[in-house]
A and B are shown apart, each in its own frame.
Chain A
Amino acid sequence: MRGGPRLWGLMAEFRTPQELVDAAARARAEGYRRMDAYSPFPMEALSEALDLPASKVPRLVLVGGTLGALAGFALQYWVSVIAYPLDVGGKPYNSWPAFIPVVFECTILCAGLFAVLGMLALNGLPMPYHPVFNAPRFALASRDRYFLCIEARDRKFDRQATRRFLEGLRPSEVAEVAA
């Protein structure tokens, strides 16, 4: 991060989701990259406007599921064939068909854990403190207001120019966000 005044970024507030989507698109077209949009509900359009890369969560889930399956079978095989082989109802030690349900459950379990923990990790959560909370009216982001924040870290960021650009998007208000 560069020095200069302790500023996180400039935040524009919009009344409707459409305004935000357009604004985001415009800002990106303008060349701004380090920015984020805040809305009370998910909007695919917004992700597209910001041109976010495809989420990594699905890949994590695949990994988790695979690990779970392997671990599940490995455990059962080791227990029933290697650790303490016992003749149970005349079935072979490795009666794999009987092991399938547990393998399945382990798969689901690990996949699920990876999905959730992965999502949190990718979103950098938990993060109870974040500069954007300094924005005065940001609480409304979880109600019915839509925010676009261009961060000071952005190469193209310039206190005045950026403010002017944002006001050009006809927001209800533009506020500075302390870092």
Chain B
Amino acid sequence: MTERTLPGRPPIIGPGYTSGTVTDKISEVVLKRTPRWWYVGFGLSLILVLLFFYAVAYLFTKGVGIWGVNVPVGWGWDITNFVWWIGIGHAGTLISAILLLLRQPWRNSINRFAEAMTLFAVACASTYPILHLGRPWVFYWLMPYPNSLGIWPQFRSPLVWDVFAVSTYATISLLFWFVGLIPDLATLRDRAAGKTAKVVYGILAMGWRGSARHWHNYESAYVMLAGLATFLVVSVHSVVSFDFASGLLPGWHTTVFPPYFVAGAIYSGFAMVLTLAIPLRAAFGLQDFITARHLQNMAKVMLATGLIVGYGYLIEIFLAWYSNDPYEKYMVVNRVMGPYAFQYWALIACNIVSPQFLWLRRVRSSTAALFVLSIVVNIGMWLERYVIIVTSLHRDFLPSSWGTYSGTIWDYATFIGTIGLFLALMFLFIRFLPAISIFEMRTILPEARSVEEGGP
């Protein structure tokens, strides 16, 4: 892989690293004793997981009526959270797949935990389609399986598309992540001291030997997966956006949704990667692997996708005006000045205004600023989904059936609960698996490059 370092640009890896030292530094995170802060963090997130279980238990005993949903607003926090989580997942796939195809070596130090983030985000997201059902215990009716009723899912429904899209997304992401892990698992297998560790990592490594033939097929399969995952990145959030785009509500029924949902997804995803990467590198002293360069690149991606999202907002308003459809026009007016105007302007501030600071190098190179910005954007993207869902639903065609919506304590509890679930999984991951891809880090070392460049 070629990589020309322009003057003034921080490098993508600290100086003086060799294959050996990289290996030691990353794998020791996993193999050495657990730091105290880990227990604290993991414990706290476990408490939130308990909150999640409590909320869900109450939900199942009483029914979705404990949430704020009503007629006309049949979806609220539940689907908002679903879309938000799914969106976050996208950065992982993008980084590991698209940047791989684009031969962006700087991805190599962030793709691993970005992919993990994807998995865990999807895990959180996929709880909502089940939880939001009136009768969650029959969720499996959405899947095609031979049954004594002789009746099947209704394949024209975007919700069935979701089932396929999300499950495919989860499966492919899992495979991609695991395939990426195999060589590193082998490394851990070979370096672990304890017998159990050896065996566990050994089983997972499946006997990886790093032979040329392995690498040969491996690389090919990895690129293939990357290619497929690239399709997924584009497709999954498009399909999610169909949930709205294929409805006929003003504010939902619009062709701009797929692209701008995808952009939004990547936007929020990178924000989340930053939110996670910044503390992570500090905690494990990985500044040499996740360098200022990485943060800056991600900042730039955020700026770009942020602008695309902004374009989406403008197009929405333009189309409403251009279509000259009274319902569409009213929808825009209602969004901007209606009962949910605050949420709308808040999201504009978070998603459109705040990223503009990223034009400034000073901001891009300030870790603290980036951290704050990333969180602001995450909030903004959540609000975006909330506004799209609630403002479109609460005032549609017949003024007689207009209503209002607000979440309840149980909506909040469930959401916070999933955040806890996400963090708990993240903590487990960084503790037991290499948070940075070791073998891919090796490939960007001088010694590796020399071969590839000098090679026949």
A residues adjacent to B (C-beta < 8 A): 16-18, 21, 24-25, 36-50, 52, 55-58, 61, 75-76, 79-80, 83-84, 86, 88-89, 91, 95, 98-99, 101-102, 104-106, 108-109, 111-113, 115-116, 118-120, 122-123, 125-130, 132-133, 139-144
Contact = CB atoms under 8 A, between A and B. Distances in A.
Q: Which of A49, A75, A102, A123 neighbours the largest number of chain B CB atoms within 10 Å of its CB?
A: A123
B214 interface: yes
6 contacts: A39-B212, A41-B215, A43-B448, A76-B155, A108-B168, A112-B229
Closest 9 CB pairs of A and B: A45-B455, A119-B221, A126-B206, A127-B207, A144-B19, A55-B220, A42-B215, A139-B190, A144-B20
A61 B212 contact: no
Interface string B436-454: 0001101100011011101
A127 to B, nearest CB: 4
B300 interface: no
Given A40-B442, A75-B144, A144-B20, A102 B209 contact: no
Interface string B134-166: 000000000010000011111110101100110
Given A101-B242, A128-B207, A143-B190, A79 B153 contact: yes
A129 B189 CA distance: 13
A48 B225 contact: no
Contact of A105 (B165, B443, B447): B165
A101 B218 CA distance: 29
Interface string B221-240: 10011001101100100010
Contact of A42 (B18, B231, B443): B443
Instruction: Give the bracket for the number of chain B residues in contact with chain A.
Output: 35 or more
Given A42-B219, A108-B231, A141 B18 contact: no
A116 to B, nearest CB: 5
Given A119-B179, A123-B214, A143-B19, A43 B451 contact: yes
A69 to B, nearest CB: 13
A89 to B, nearest CB: 7
Interface of B: 18-20, 23, 144, 150-156, 158, 160-161, 164-165, 167-168, 171-172, 175-176, 178-179, 183, 186-187, 189-191, 202-203, 206-221, 224-225, 228-229, 231-232, 235, 239, 242, 439-440, 442-443, 447-448, 450-452, 454-456
B156 A84 contact: no
Contact of A142 (B210, B224, B225): B210
A52 B218 CA distance: 13
Contacts of A99: 155
Contacts of B214: 123, 125
A116 B175 CA distance: 7
A50 B183 CA distance: 21
A25 B164 CA distance: 48
A118 B221 contact: yes
B452 A44 contact: yes
B450 A101 contact: no
Given A111-B224, A130-B207, A142-B191, 14 more contacts: A40-B19, A42-B218, A42-B439, A52-B213, A56-B217, A57-B220, A58-B224, A115-B175, A119-B221, A122-B217, A123-B218, A141-B190, A142-B189, A144-B23
Contact of B207 (A46, A95, A102, A126): A126
B207 A36 contact: no
A145 B235 CA distance: 42
B216 A40 contact: no
A37 B212 contact: yes
Contacts of A116: 175, 178-179, 221, 225
B207 A55 contact: no
Nearest to B179: A116
B456 A48 contact: yes
Nearest to B440: A41
Given A17-B451, A104-B235, A109-B172, A39 B228 contact: no
A112 B221 CA distance: 9
B233 to A, nearest CB: 11
Contacts of B440: 41
B221 A115 contact: yes
B155 A98 contact: yes
Given A55-B216, A142-B190, A130 B209 contact: yes
Nearest to A56: B217
B241 to A, nearest CB: 11
A141 B205 CA distance: 14
Contacts of B219: 42, 44, 55
B211 A36 contact: yes
Given A47-B212, A84-B150, A105 B451 contact: no
A17 B224 contact: no
Contact of A101 (B175, B206, B239, B454): B239
A141 B232 CA distance: 34
Contacts of B179: 116, 119
B203 A128 contact: yes
A102 B164 contact: yes
Contacts of B167: 109
Contact of B212 (A50, A58, A140): A50
B171 A38 contact: no
